[in-house]
Chains A and B, each alone.
Chain A
Amino acid sequence: MEHGSFEDPSKATFSFTDEDHTLANAVRFTLNQDPRVTFCGYSIPHPSDARVNIRVQTTGDPAREVLNDSCQDLMLICQHVRGTFDQAISKFKAEKGLSPMDIKK
């Protein structure tokens, strides 16, 4: 859900249900890394509600697009983390001469 104005799409607050610090803090990081962002922050209005508000203000681009790009960035980062991690694990296992762990054991 987006709360913004029609006149100025460069500033908006996005409200996500069923999300918390986990996503909001990570997205705030990727947003902050984007030079188009002049301000961003998040808040959890009430601890009993599973809801988080993310505020994005940009230098001119629509806030929606900038947030979208930030999420894409975060996804790319995650994919890279996963790839690197898997490589490191298989390298470690190969060095130790371990066979892949049998989870049905």
Chain B
Amino acid sequence: MGSPTESESMDTESISTQGESIDSPKIAKISVWDLPDVPQGKLPPHLELQRTRVMCDFLAPTNTQNIQYSGAYASMGVDNSVQFEQFRNNFKVEVVRLDDDELEFDMIGIDPSLANAFRRILIAEVPTVAIEKVLIANNTSIIQDEVLAHRLGLIPIKVDPRLFEYMSENDVPNEKNTIVFKLHAHCEKGGDRLRVLSSELKWLPNGSEFILGTESQASNSSAKPKTYTSFSCSQDSLPEFSNGPIAPRDADIIIAKLGPGQEIELEAHAVKGMGKTHAKWSPVATAWYRMLPEVVLLRDIEDDEAEELVKKCPVKVFDIEDIGKGKKRATVARPRACTLCRECIREEGWDKNVAVRRVKDHFIFTIESTGALPPEVLFTEAVKILEEKCERVITELS
């Protein structure tokens, strides 16, 4: 920040002397930037508004772009760069709502490129555990094997993915990278139809119980027969899982419906993965943000007009206050509720009374977890992943 550079001030001087006789020596030349209504070291109000707000005009939103370039306002002697110190002083987080699965918080003073990076990482790059392989021993239900396998894959599993390793292509399934579930449901002949729920997926801490096909020929009665997994120890002996069995997060998801005499017997192998491979590994149902709506009354709206304005808004952004002498005035009571439907400025002339805007660096961030990890942990993990990415680039550069 500081005064404009030499060449620019000369330019502006020549503008300010326009229309005057050039060789009149009596008139002192003043730069327009030295005029009293031009703030020093700050942007003029109309540019500051354009920089920090999206105007939601009647026809279309304007000033939607973000000015990132540090020298964007250099000609006005304004530094547009964000130094880390400045960021640290301005950045704020305010939690609005937090429960088991949902988190809503305000992130203030951050650029959308970073907010969007966090959102993208939450959806596609925070790992979870999901069923990837299904070994079907018997399926006489009307649900085809592949549809059944797909449905199983989408069931959220309540387990901390940080305790597991990724399974690469040539890895053998072991207790560090695979969780095995068993499902055996049978509908009695002559009975009622049966619903198979996710609660019937039973965790097998010792790994697969299905014996490999190659094993039966070379039957060696003394050694333990080889199964589809090779666990070196039982998972429930590990301290991380001793507190309770691993199970689907929701017990009441319908996997299939069986008619009398039908049966499903299968084993499901869950592995760690990321949402960018398949949405079943996405730890969030959704993660999104919106910019804070800002509703401004450009002049006092009173009496009948105030009543009219309150009626216009379908989400009740406006209220009426009494200002005495039987007069009423409209106020903006709940700007956060505004959906920017612009109903309040639809009628002709009303855009002169009300301005609907969005604050460009204030994000209302919402995370809906599928249940494997609480939402606040998910966000912390997402930020850590972005840090790791930076670290990777730094090591690659040096």
- Cβ-based interface call for A44 (8 A): no
Output the least CB separation between A13 and chain B (Å). 13
Interface residue tally for chain A (C-beta within 8 Å): 47
Question: Which residues of the partner chain A approach B383 to less than 8 Å between Cβ atoms?
Answer: 78, 81-82, 85
- Cβ-based interface call for B113 (8 A): yes
- Alpha-carbon separation in the docked complex, A25 to B377 (Å): 24
- Cβ-based interface call for B22 (8 A): no
Within B72-102, the residues touching A (CB, 8 Å) are: 79, 81-84, 87-88, 91-95, 98, 100
- Given the interface pairs A84-B92, A92-B98, the reply to whether A16 lies near B393 with Cβ below 8 Å is yes
Can you list, as one digit per residue, whether each of A1-42 has a CB less than 8 Å from chain B (1) or not (0)? 010000000000010100111110111110011110100000
Residue of A nearest to B373 (CB): A103
CB of B68 within 8 A of CB of A32, answer yes
CB of B396 within 8 A of CB of A67, answer no
Question: Which residues of the partner chain B approach A32 to less than 8 Å between Cβ atoms?
Answer: 68-70
Contact of B113 among A26, A71, A103 (CB under 8 A): A26
The stretch from B13-21, B116-124, B325-333 touching chain A is: B116-124
CB of B376 within 8 A of CB of A89, answer yes
CB of B125 within 8 A of CB of A22, answer yes
Contact of A25 among B81, B113, B243 (CB under 8 A): B113
- Cβ-based interface call for B398 (8 A): yes
CB of B393 within 8 A of CB of A71, answer yes
Residue of B nearest to A37 (CB): B70
CB of A22 within 8 A of CB of B389, answer yes
CB of A25 within 8 A of CB of B117, answer yes
Can you list, as one digit per residue, whether each of B159-180 has a CB less than 8 Å from chain A (1) or not (0)? 0100000000000000000000
- Cβ-based interface call for B105 (8 A): yes
Q: Is the interface of A mostly helix, strand, loop or mixed?
A: helix
Within B335-386, the residues touching A (CB, 8 Å) are: 373-374, 376-377, 379-380, 383-384, 386
- Cβ-based interface call for B59 (8 A): no
Output the least CB separation between B24 and chain A (Å). 40
- Given the interface pairs A21-B120, A82-B383, the reply to whether A103 lies near B374 with Cβ below 8 Å is yes
Output the least CB separation between A16 and chain B (Å). 7
Can you list, as one digit per residue, whether each of A71-105 has a CB less than 8 Å from chain B (1) or not (0)? 11111111111101111110111001010010110
- Cβ-based interface call for A55 (8 A): no
Within B181-204, the residues touching A (CB, 8 Å) are: none
Contact of B68 among A22, A33, A35, A73 (CB under 8 A): A33
Output the least CB separation between A74 and chain B (Å). 5
Interface centre among A27, A32, A64 (most CB of B within 10 A): A32
Residue of A nearest to B376 (CB): A89
Closest 5 CB pairs of A and B: A92-B95, A88-B93, A32-B68, A29-B113, A26-B117
4 further A-B contacts with Cβ under 8 Å, apart from A29-B114, A85-B105, are A26-B117, A32-B68, A78-B383, A82-B380
Q: Which residues of A contact B (CB under 8 A)?
A: 2, 14, 16, 19-23, 25-29, 32-35, 37, 64, 67-68, 71-82, 84-89, 91-93, 96, 98, 101, 103-104
